[in-house]
Amino acid sequence: MRTNARLPLVVCLLLSLLAGVVAAQKRAPDPEESLRLVLDGVRGPGDILRAGAELAELGPAALEALFARLANEATALSTPQRTALTSALGSLPREAVLAFLARVARAPREERERVAGVTLLASFGSRNELMLALDLASSADDEGPLAPSVREALEQALVGICRREQGSALTLAGFFAQVPAALQASIVAALVRAGGVELPGLFAAQLGSGTDADALLLLELGNHATHYGACDDQLVLERVRGYLGHPERRLGVLACLALEKLRDYQAVPDLVVLLDDSNAALSQRAHAALRSLTGLDFGAQTEPWMAWLSPSLDWWDERADAARVALVSGTAAQAAAALADVAAQRLFVADVVQLLELALQRPEPDLVRFGCRALSSLREPCVIHALEQALEHADPALSAEIQHTLTRLARPRPQAHHPPPIPALEKAVTP
């Protein structure tokens, strides 16, 4: 009987609780409705901060709704509305947003959702989220190319992170060998867009990642040198030089092109050997690189080049040190003879420039003048700095001549260039 007496009380309590839940649900705003109302109130840039703050107040529970609106209605939203949504998502707890994006990356998703996820990382991602950006961009078919919208969003995100946080470029380059070819292309493109003097080293360090990957890296090394000039990092040059004899001959062709653009004068003996290669494309590319790096042209056959190379190597082994001593501390006549001897060399041009620079430190104006002329005859980027050092010479006529030479060298010139003969220095200098 006591149990039956308590039943009405229990029922009343349950009904009261249920009524409270229903009332609470009625009072609680619907996230979708709140989201719609806030976005409808965004009329221009002046509403972005307010709307972003109001959307962020919806909390992590609204994260999926916010992301869905950003992904699914991106084209229907105005730029201020998209910015407000991105701001709100960036204001939510970072751990919650990153965990959500990780779930997006793991599950099969539409292209627009992947674009939205990568775009979010472009605004607030750090070096730690570089791999997450790559994962978000990956399609179900890892071997297929990225959709254009995904590729552009990914590259913008990678560039943004690299520019925002120091050391990100090195971290990103480290992922190169771990990702599919489509992502490798985006990594390289992003690093190029982010810029930096360390690019040749980053690219060279990834060589050995596979034939196609190596072809991409060698091509970009050559492109980088075209825009930013020669490379003096010997580790980079040695790694590229190692591809001249690669069994995959197209890599050898690309290595020839890269070394020519990087101005690797030490590669000349290896390039001479390639003139006899059975692959016509490789031998032709080696010949073109030899002409560029030496300013000489003995034709496409190996024998004339070897006839020049052998005595040139002997000169560096047997006479280079004596020429250095004469230029530093010899008499005017000895220095003039050494200067003529050095100026005639076309093997290892960077080393030739270093020896010719010694003539610019001599007290005799005639030696300085002919040293400058010998340098300018090389028409190489590395001679500019040497000539600039001599601009402050006490002889105003010599200084003016050097300035004229620098101006002339700065003008665009045809790529196929052969230096003019070196003047007869011994006759022009009075002992």
Alpha helices in 195-210 (DSSP H): 199-205
- Range in 31-40, 115-124, 271-280 with the lowest mean pLDDT: 31-40
Q: Is the pLDDT of residue 128 over 60?
A: yes
Q: Please state, in angstroms and rounded to a whole number, the distance separating the CA atoms of residues 405 and 399.
A: 10
The whole-number pLDDT of residue 27 equals: 45
pLDDT digits (tens, 9 = 90+) for 406-426: 888 775 544 443 344 333 433
pLDDT digits (tens, 9 = 90+) for 324-380: 999 999 999 999 999 999 999 999 999 999 999 999 999 998 999 899 899 988 878
Q: Is the pLDDT of residue 259 over 60?
A: yes
The whole-number pLDDT of residue 331 equals: 96
Q: Are 261 and 226 spatial neighbours (Cβ–Cβ below 8 Å)?
A: yes
pLDDT band at 23 (very low <50, low <70, confident <90, very high): very low
Q: Please state, in angstroms and rounded to a whole number, the distance separating the CA atoms of residues 8 and 3.
A: 10
Residue with tokens 């919208």: 149
Phi then psi for residue 237, to 5 deg, are -60, -40
Q: Are 368 and 360 spatial neighbours (Cβ–Cβ below 8 Å)?
A: yes
The whole-number pLDDT of residue 389 equals: 78
More confident residue, 338 or 58: 338
Secondary structure (3-state) at 146? coil
The whole-number pLDDT of residue 414 equals: 43
Average pLDDT on 385-410 reads: 81
Q: Are 291 and 271 spatial neighbours (Cβ–Cβ below 8 Å)?
A: no
193: nearest Cα among 185, 205, 204 = 185
- What would you measure as the largest C-alpha separation in the chain, in angstroms? 135
Q: Are 135 and 117 spatial neighbours (Cβ–Cβ below 8 Å)?
A: no
341: nearest Cα among 351, 328, 331, 352 = 352
Q: Please state, in angstroms and rounded to a whole number, the distance separating the CA atoms of residues 240 and 289.
A: 14
The whole-number pLDDT of residue 74 equals: 63
Reading the block at residue 278, the tokens are 């059975």
161: nearest Cα among 206, 130, 200 = 130
pLDDT digits (tens, 9 = 90+) for 139-156: 655 567 899 999 999 999
Averaged confidence pLDDT in the chain:
86
Q: Please state, in angstroms and rounded to a whole number, the distance separating the CA atoms of residues 27 and 399.
A: 86
Q: Please state, in angstroms and rounded to a whole number, the distance separating the CA atoms of residues 315 and 191.
A: 42
Amino acid occupying residue 88:
A
